[in-house]
Structure 1
Protein backbone atom coordinates (compact mmCIF):
# COMPACT_ATOMS: atom_id res chain seq x y z
CA UNK A 1 0.00 0.00 0.00
CA UNK A 2 2.68 2.49 1.07
CA UNK A 3 4.86 1.70 -1.94
CA UNK A 4 1.99 1.81 -4.44
CA UNK A 5 0.66 5.18 -3.19
CA UNK A 6 4.11 6.75 -3.36
CA UNK A 7 4.85 5.38 -6.84
CA UNK A 8 1.41 6.31 -8.20
CA UNK A 9 1.52 9.85 -6.83
CA UNK A 10 5.12 10.37 -7.98
CA UNK A 11 4.38 9.14 -11.49
CA UNK A 12 1.24 11.27 -11.74
CA UNK A 13 2.83 14.51 -10.50
CA UNK A 14 6.07 13.90 -12.38
CA UNK A 15 4.07 13.12 -15.50
CA UNK A 16 2.48 16.56 -15.33
CA UNK A 17 5.93 18.13 -15.66
CA UNK A 18 6.72 16.01 -18.70
CA UNK A 19 3.38 16.86 -20.35
CA UNK A 20 3.76 20.57 -19.59
CA UNK A 21 7.33 20.73 -20.92
CA UNK A 22 6.31 18.82 -24.03
CA UNK A 23 3.44 21.20 -24.71
CA UNK A 24 5.60 24.24 -23.94
CA UNK A 25 8.05 23.12 -26.62
CA UNK A 26 5.32 23.83 -29.19
CA UNK A 27 4.82 27.40 -27.96
CA UNK A 28 6.88 30.58 -27.70
CA UNK A 29 6.34 30.76 -23.94
CA UNK A 30 9.59 31.24 -22.03
CA UNK A 31 10.05 29.97 -18.49
CA UNK A 32 11.60 32.69 -16.35
CA UNK A 33 12.62 30.93 -13.11
CA UNK A 34 13.15 33.95 -10.80
CA UNK A 35 11.06 36.49 -12.71
CA UNK A 36 10.87 39.92 -11.15
CA UNK A 37 11.13 38.32 -7.68
CA UNK A 38 14.84 37.89 -8.35
CA UNK A 39 17.14 35.96 -6.04
CA UNK A 40 14.55 36.04 -3.26
CA UNK A 41 11.96 34.06 -5.24
CA UNK A 42 12.47 30.84 -3.26
CA UNK A 43 12.32 32.65 0.08
CA UNK A 44 9.18 34.56 -0.92
CA UNK A 45 7.59 31.31 -2.03
CA UNK A 46 8.30 29.64 1.31
CA UNK A 47 6.98 32.63 3.26
CA UNK A 48 3.84 32.75 1.12
CA UNK A 49 3.29 29.03 1.77
CA UNK A 50 3.55 29.53 5.53
CA UNK A 51 1.15 32.49 5.43
CA UNK A 52 -1.34 30.65 3.21
CA UNK A 53 -1.34 27.53 5.34
CA UNK A 54 -1.60 29.63 8.52
CA UNK A 55 -4.71 31.34 7.14
CA UNK A 56 -6.17 27.99 6.11
CA UNK A 57 -5.46 26.39 9.49
CA UNK A 58 -7.06 29.29 11.38
CA UNK A 59 -10.14 29.10 9.15
CA UNK A 60 -10.49 25.37 9.84
CA UNK A 61 -10.04 25.87 13.59
CA UNK A 62 -12.39 28.84 13.92
CA UNK A 63 -15.16 27.79 11.51
CA UNK A 64 -16.76 24.52 12.67
CA UNK A 65 -18.98 24.29 9.59
CA UNK A 66 -15.98 24.61 7.30
CA UNK A 67 -14.12 21.98 9.33
CA UNK A 68 -17.09 19.61 9.13
CA UNK A 69 -17.24 19.93 5.33
CA UNK A 70 -13.54 19.16 5.04
CA UNK A 71 -13.59 16.22 7.46
CA UNK A 72 -14.32 13.49 4.83
CA UNK A 73 -11.45 14.73 2.64
CA UNK A 74 -9.07 14.85 5.58
CA UNK A 75 -9.95 11.21 6.30
CA UNK A 76 -9.21 10.26 2.69
CA UNK A 77 -5.87 12.06 2.80
CA UNK A 78 -4.95 10.38 6.08
CA UNK A 79 -5.56 6.94 4.58
CA UNK A 80 -3.32 7.77 1.63
CA UNK A 81 -0.51 9.74 3.23
CA UNK A 82 -0.16 8.63 6.88
CA UNK A 83 1.89 5.53 5.92
CA UNK A 84 4.40 7.62 3.92
CA UNK A 85 7.67 8.89 5.35
CA UNK A 86 8.55 12.59 5.52
CA UNK A 87 10.94 12.36 2.57
CA UNK A 88 8.23 10.72 0.48
CA UNK A 89 5.77 13.48 1.38
CA UNK A 90 8.43 16.07 0.52
CA UNK A 91 9.18 14.40 -2.83
CA UNK A 92 5.51 14.23 -3.85
CA UNK A 93 5.01 17.87 -2.78
CA UNK A 94 8.03 19.00 -4.79
CA UNK A 95 6.77 17.20 -7.89
CA UNK A 96 3.30 18.69 -7.39
CA UNK A 97 4.65 22.23 -7.06
CA UNK A 98 6.81 21.94 -10.16
CA UNK A 99 4.43 19.94 -12.37
CA UNK A 100 1.18 21.71 -11.57
CA UNK A 101 2.65 25.21 -11.78
CA UNK A 102 4.32 24.40 -15.10
CA UNK A 103 1.00 23.14 -16.43
CA UNK A 104 -1.51 25.59 -14.98
CA UNK A 105 0.43 28.83 -14.61
CA UNK A 106 3.37 28.77 -17.03
CA UNK A 107 1.58 26.96 -19.86
CA UNK A 108 -2.19 27.40 -19.55
CA UNK A 109 -2.33 30.85 -17.94
CA UNK A 110 0.35 32.34 -20.22
CA UNK A 111 -1.29 30.81 -23.30
CA UNK A 112 -4.70 32.19 -22.36
CA UNK A 113 -3.20 35.59 -21.52
CA UNK A 114 -1.85 35.69 -25.07
CA UNK A 115 -5.40 36.40 -26.24
CA UNK A 116 -5.16 39.79 -24.51
CA UNK A 117 -7.14 39.28 -21.31
CA UNK A 118 -4.76 38.45 -18.42
CA UNK A 119 -7.46 38.64 -15.73
CA UNK A 120 -9.65 36.20 -17.66
CA UNK A 121 -6.62 33.94 -18.12
CA UNK A 122 -5.99 33.89 -14.36
CA UNK A 123 -9.61 32.99 -13.61
CA UNK A 124 -9.88 30.31 -16.30
CA UNK A 125 -6.58 28.65 -15.40
CA UNK A 126 -7.60 28.68 -11.73
CA UNK A 127 -10.99 27.16 -12.55
CA UNK A 128 -9.33 24.31 -14.47
CA UNK A 129 -6.84 23.85 -11.62
CA UNK A 130 -9.67 23.66 -9.06
CA UNK A 131 -11.84 21.41 -11.24
CA UNK A 132 -9.03 18.86 -11.56
CA UNK A 133 -8.75 18.82 -7.74
CA UNK A 134 -12.50 18.28 -7.30
CA UNK A 135 -13.52 16.36 -4.19
CA UNK A 136 -16.55 18.44 -3.26
CA UNK A 137 -17.86 21.98 -3.79
CA UNK A 138 -16.11 23.14 -0.60
CA UNK A 139 -12.77 21.65 -1.65
CA UNK A 140 -13.23 23.09 -5.16
CA UNK A 141 -13.77 26.59 -3.75
CA UNK A 142 -10.77 26.34 -1.43
CA UNK A 143 -8.56 25.18 -4.30
CA UNK A 144 -9.97 27.92 -6.54
CA UNK A 145 -9.02 30.63 -4.03
CA UNK A 146 -5.50 29.22 -3.68
CA UNK A 147 -5.21 28.90 -7.47
CA UNK A 148 -6.27 32.53 -7.94
CA UNK A 149 -3.58 33.59 -5.47
CA UNK A 150 -0.96 31.58 -7.39
CA UNK A 151 -2.22 33.02 -10.67
CA UNK A 152 -2.21 36.67 -9.57
CA UNK A 153 1.29 36.43 -8.11
CA UNK A 154 2.59 34.58 -11.16
CA UNK A 155 1.09 37.20 -13.51
CA UNK A 156 2.65 39.98 -11.42
CA UNK A 157 6.13 38.45 -11.07
CA UNK A 158 6.37 35.86 -13.88
CA UNK A 159 8.40 33.90 -11.31
CA UNK A 160 8.11 30.15 -11.75
CA UNK A 161 10.35 29.52 -8.72
CA UNK A 162 8.12 31.64 -6.48
CA UNK A 163 4.83 29.91 -7.33
CA UNK A 164 6.33 26.41 -7.56
CA UNK A 165 8.00 26.71 -4.13
CA UNK A 166 4.85 28.30 -2.69
CA UNK A 167 2.73 25.42 -4.01
CA UNK A 168 5.20 22.68 -3.04
CA UNK A 169 5.91 23.93 0.48
CA UNK A 170 2.20 24.51 1.11
CA UNK A 171 1.42 20.95 0.03
CA UNK A 172 4.20 19.55 2.22
CA UNK A 173 3.01 21.42 5.32
CA UNK A 174 -0.58 20.36 4.67
CA UNK A 175 0.34 16.70 4.19
CA UNK A 176 2.54 16.60 7.28
CA UNK A 177 -0.12 18.20 9.49
CA UNK A 178 -2.91 15.97 8.15
CA UNK A 179 -0.88 12.77 8.46
CA UNK A 180 1.07 13.49 11.66
CA UNK A 181 -0.88 15.94 13.83
CA UNK A 182 -4.43 16.54 12.53
CA UNK A 183 -5.51 17.38 16.08
CA UNK A 184 -3.97 20.83 15.50
CA UNK A 185 -6.83 21.42 13.07
CA UNK A 186 -9.47 19.79 15.24
CA UNK A 187 -9.47 16.43 13.44
CA UNK A 188 -8.83 13.02 14.94
CA UNK A 189 -5.66 11.05 14.35
CA UNK A 190 -5.92 8.29 11.78
CA UNK A 191 -5.56 4.74 13.04
CA UNK A 192 -2.08 3.37 12.32
CA UNK A 193 -2.04 1.02 9.33
CA UNK A 194 -1.97 -2.70 10.00
CA UNK A 195 1.53 -4.19 9.84
CA UNK A 196 0.19 -6.64 7.26
CA UNK A 197 -0.54 -3.79 4.84
CA UNK A 198 2.78 -1.98 5.15
CA UNK A 199 5.48 -2.32 2.56
CA UNK A 200 9.06 -1.90 3.72
Structure 2
Protein backbone atom coordinates (compact mmCIF):
# COMPACT_ATOMS: atom_id res chain seq x y z
CA UNK A 1 0.00 0.00 0.00
CA UNK A 2 2.72 2.44 1.00
CA UNK A 3 4.72 1.53 -2.10
CA UNK A 4 1.68 2.18 -4.29
CA UNK A 5 1.16 5.59 -2.70
CA UNK A 6 4.81 6.58 -3.17
CA UNK A 7 4.75 5.37 -6.79
CA UNK A 8 1.56 7.32 -7.39
CA UNK A 9 3.07 10.43 -5.83
CA UNK A 10 6.25 10.16 -7.92
CA UNK A 11 4.22 9.65 -11.12
CA UNK A 12 2.13 12.70 -10.26
CA UNK A 13 5.26 14.76 -9.67
CA UNK A 14 6.76 13.58 -12.97
CA UNK A 15 3.56 14.44 -14.81
CA UNK A 16 3.45 17.87 -13.20
CA UNK A 17 7.10 18.46 -14.07
CA UNK A 18 6.54 17.41 -17.69
CA UNK A 19 3.45 19.57 -18.03
CA UNK A 20 5.24 22.52 -16.44
CA UNK A 21 8.17 22.18 -18.84
CA UNK A 22 5.90 22.01 -21.88
CA UNK A 23 3.89 25.02 -20.74
CA UNK A 24 7.11 26.86 -19.94
CA UNK A 25 8.45 26.13 -23.42
CA UNK A 26 5.31 27.48 -25.10
CA UNK A 27 5.25 30.58 -22.90
CA UNK A 28 8.93 31.05 -23.68
CA UNK A 29 8.04 31.22 -27.37
CA UNK A 30 5.54 33.94 -26.51
CA UNK A 31 8.20 35.92 -24.67
CA UNK A 32 10.58 35.42 -27.61
CA UNK A 33 7.90 36.76 -29.94
CA UNK A 34 7.51 39.91 -27.86
CA UNK A 35 11.28 40.44 -27.68
CA UNK A 36 11.68 39.99 -31.45
CA UNK A 37 8.77 42.32 -32.11
CA UNK A 38 10.41 44.96 -29.92
CA UNK A 39 13.87 44.42 -31.43
CA UNK A 40 12.73 44.58 -35.06
CA UNK A 41 9.90 47.06 -34.69
CA UNK A 42 7.07 44.68 -35.58
CA UNK A 43 3.77 46.17 -34.50
CA UNK A 44 0.76 44.15 -33.40
CA UNK A 45 -1.53 47.08 -34.12
CA UNK A 46 -4.27 45.97 -36.47
CA UNK A 47 -3.42 42.27 -36.15
CA UNK A 48 -6.27 41.52 -33.76
CA UNK A 49 -9.18 43.06 -35.65
CA UNK A 50 -12.24 41.53 -37.24
CA UNK A 51 -14.63 41.36 -34.28
CA UNK A 52 -15.31 38.42 -32.01
CA UNK A 53 -18.26 37.03 -33.98
CA UNK A 54 -16.27 36.90 -37.21
CA UNK A 55 -13.21 35.50 -35.44
CA UNK A 56 -15.23 32.70 -33.85
CA UNK A 57 -16.97 31.87 -37.13
CA UNK A 58 -13.78 31.82 -39.21
CA UNK A 59 -11.93 30.04 -36.42
CA UNK A 60 -14.42 27.20 -36.17
CA UNK A 61 -14.82 26.86 -39.93
CA UNK A 62 -11.07 27.12 -40.42
CA UNK A 63 -10.47 24.21 -38.06
CA UNK A 64 -12.50 21.81 -40.22
CA UNK A 65 -9.84 21.22 -42.94
CA UNK A 66 -7.16 20.52 -40.32
CA UNK A 67 -9.41 18.07 -38.50
CA UNK A 68 -10.22 16.45 -41.85
CA UNK A 69 -6.47 15.99 -42.37
CA UNK A 70 -6.22 14.47 -38.90
CA UNK A 71 -8.99 11.96 -39.66
CA UNK A 72 -7.54 11.19 -43.08
CA UNK A 73 -4.14 10.40 -41.59
CA UNK A 74 -5.79 8.39 -38.85
CA UNK A 75 -7.48 6.20 -41.47
CA UNK A 76 -4.42 5.87 -43.70
CA UNK A 77 -2.24 2.78 -43.81
CA UNK A 78 0.50 4.36 -45.93
CA UNK A 79 3.99 3.33 -44.86
CA UNK A 80 5.10 6.87 -43.99
CA UNK A 81 1.94 7.41 -41.92
CA UNK A 82 2.53 4.14 -40.06
CA UNK A 83 6.12 5.23 -39.37
CA UNK A 84 4.90 8.59 -38.10
CA UNK A 85 2.29 6.89 -35.96
CA UNK A 86 4.98 4.69 -34.44
CA UNK A 87 7.11 7.74 -33.66
CA UNK A 88 4.15 9.41 -31.95
CA UNK A 89 3.45 6.28 -29.93
CA UNK A 90 7.08 5.84 -28.83
CA UNK A 91 8.17 9.42 -28.25
CA UNK A 92 5.19 11.76 -27.87
CA UNK A 93 2.61 9.80 -25.91
CA UNK A 94 5.01 9.28 -22.96
CA UNK A 95 5.46 13.07 -22.72
CA UNK A 96 1.72 13.58 -22.25
CA UNK A 97 0.88 10.46 -20.28
CA UNK A 98 -1.11 11.35 -17.19
CA UNK A 99 -1.87 14.92 -18.29
CA UNK A 100 -5.51 15.61 -17.44
CA UNK A 101 -8.17 17.52 -19.40
CA UNK A 102 -7.21 20.86 -17.85
CA UNK A 103 -3.56 20.27 -18.74
CA UNK A 104 -4.49 19.39 -22.32
CA UNK A 105 -6.56 22.58 -22.56
CA UNK A 106 -3.74 24.75 -21.21
CA UNK A 107 -1.14 23.18 -23.51
CA UNK A 108 -3.35 23.64 -26.57
CA UNK A 109 -4.18 27.21 -25.60
CA UNK A 110 -0.57 28.18 -24.91
CA UNK A 111 0.60 26.61 -28.19
CA UNK A 112 -2.14 28.29 -30.19
CA UNK A 113 -1.46 31.73 -28.76
CA UNK A 114 2.32 31.71 -28.34
CA UNK A 115 3.32 29.85 -31.52
CA UNK A 116 1.02 31.96 -33.68
CA UNK A 117 2.26 35.13 -32.01
CA UNK A 118 5.81 34.16 -32.97
CA UNK A 119 5.47 32.57 -36.41
CA UNK A 120 2.56 34.52 -37.88
CA UNK A 121 2.40 37.65 -35.73
CA UNK A 122 6.12 38.47 -35.72
CA UNK A 123 8.00 36.42 -38.32
CA UNK A 124 5.46 36.39 -41.15
CA UNK A 125 4.30 39.95 -40.52
CA UNK A 126 7.85 41.22 -40.06
CA UNK A 127 9.14 39.57 -43.24
CA UNK A 128 6.17 40.78 -45.30
CA UNK A 129 7.55 44.34 -45.24
CA UNK A 130 10.90 43.74 -46.97
CA UNK A 131 9.99 40.59 -48.94
CA UNK A 132 6.26 40.78 -49.62
CA UNK A 133 3.42 38.64 -48.19
CA UNK A 134 3.98 35.43 -50.18
CA UNK A 135 7.72 34.97 -49.60
CA UNK A 136 7.06 35.87 -45.95
CA UNK A 137 4.35 33.21 -45.79
CA UNK A 138 6.70 30.58 -47.23
CA UNK A 139 9.64 31.50 -44.97
CA UNK A 140 7.54 31.63 -41.81
CA UNK A 141 5.92 28.28 -42.67
CA UNK A 142 9.30 26.65 -43.28
CA UNK A 143 10.53 27.92 -39.92
CA UNK A 144 7.34 26.62 -38.31
CA UNK A 145 7.99 23.23 -39.89
CA UNK A 146 11.63 23.24 -38.78
CA UNK A 147 10.55 24.00 -35.22
CA UNK A 148 8.46 20.81 -35.33
CA UNK A 149 10.89 18.71 -37.41
CA UNK A 150 11.00 15.60 -35.25
CA UNK A 151 10.84 13.50 -38.44
CA UNK A 152 10.85 14.39 -42.14
CA UNK A 153 7.16 13.54 -42.44
CA UNK A 154 6.35 15.66 -39.41
CA UNK A 155 8.34 18.54 -40.92
CA UNK A 156 6.37 18.35 -44.18
CA UNK A 157 3.01 18.13 -42.44
CA UNK A 158 3.68 20.99 -40.04
CA UNK A 159 5.05 23.14 -42.88
CA UNK A 160 1.78 22.58 -44.77
CA UNK A 161 -0.14 23.43 -41.60
CA UNK A 162 1.97 26.57 -41.25
CA UNK A 163 1.11 27.58 -44.82
CA UNK A 164 -2.57 27.10 -44.08
CA UNK A 165 -2.45 29.08 -40.83
CA UNK A 166 -0.50 31.84 -42.56
CA UNK A 167 -3.05 31.98 -45.38
CA UNK A 168 -5.81 32.34 -42.80
CA UNK A 169 -4.02 35.37 -41.38
CA UNK A 170 -3.67 36.91 -44.86
CA UNK A 171 -7.25 36.16 -45.89
CA UNK A 172 -8.89 37.37 -42.68
CA UNK A 173 -6.41 40.10 -41.75
CA UNK A 174 -6.51 38.87 -38.16
CA UNK A 175 -3.99 36.95 -36.07
CA UNK A 176 -6.82 35.80 -33.81
CA UNK A 177 -8.17 33.43 -36.47
CA UNK A 178 -5.02 31.27 -36.85
CA UNK A 179 -4.59 31.40 -33.07
CA UNK A 180 -8.09 29.99 -32.59
CA UNK A 181 -7.68 27.37 -35.33
CA UNK A 182 -4.30 26.26 -33.93
CA UNK A 183 -5.74 26.04 -30.41
CA UNK A 184 -8.85 24.07 -31.44
CA UNK A 185 -6.85 21.66 -33.59
CA UNK A 186 -4.26 21.01 -30.88
CA UNK A 187 -7.00 20.57 -28.28
CA UNK A 188 -8.81 17.92 -30.32
CA UNK A 189 -5.59 16.19 -31.46
CA UNK A 190 -4.14 16.02 -27.94
CA UNK A 191 -7.41 14.81 -26.44
CA UNK A 192 -7.56 12.11 -29.10
CA UNK A 193 -3.92 11.17 -28.53
CA UNK A 194 -4.38 10.80 -24.79
CA UNK A 195 -7.42 8.58 -25.22
CA UNK A 196 -4.93 5.97 -26.41
CA UNK A 197 -5.93 6.00 -30.06
CA UNK A 198 -3.59 6.12 -33.04
CA UNK A 199 -3.21 9.74 -33.89
CA UNK A 200 -1.70 12.00 -36.53
CA UNK A 201 0.62 14.92 -35.62
User: Under a length normalisation based on structure 2, what TM-score does the superposition of the two structures give?
Assistant: 0.84
- Residues 1:85 and 1:31: Cα distance change in structure 2 (over 3 Å): farther
Residue 177 (structure 1) aligned with residue 192 (structure 2):
yes
1:8 correspondence with 2:11? no
| Equivalent position SS for 1:134 | coil
| Contact preservation (8 Å) 1:36, 1:158 | yes
Unaligned runs of 5+ in 2: 1-13
1:90 aligns with 2:144: no
Where structure 1 has 5 or more consecutive residues not aligned to the other structure, the ranges are 187-200
CA distance in 1, matches of 2:42, 2:29: 19
Q: Once superposed, what is the RMSD of the aligned Cα atoms?
A: 2.0
Does 1:52 pair with 2:69? no
Contact kept in structure 2, 1:82 and 1:180, CA below 8 Å: no
How many residues align? The count is 185
Contact 1:77 1:179 in 2 (8 A): no
Deviation of the 1:181 alpha carbon: 4.1
Q: TM-score, normalised by structure 1?
A: 0.84
1:84-105 C-alpha deviation (Å, 9 max, x unpaired)? 0011011011000110001000
Choose 1 or 2 for highest CA Rg.
2
Give structure 1 regions of 4+ aligned residues with deviation exceeding 3 angstroms. 31-38
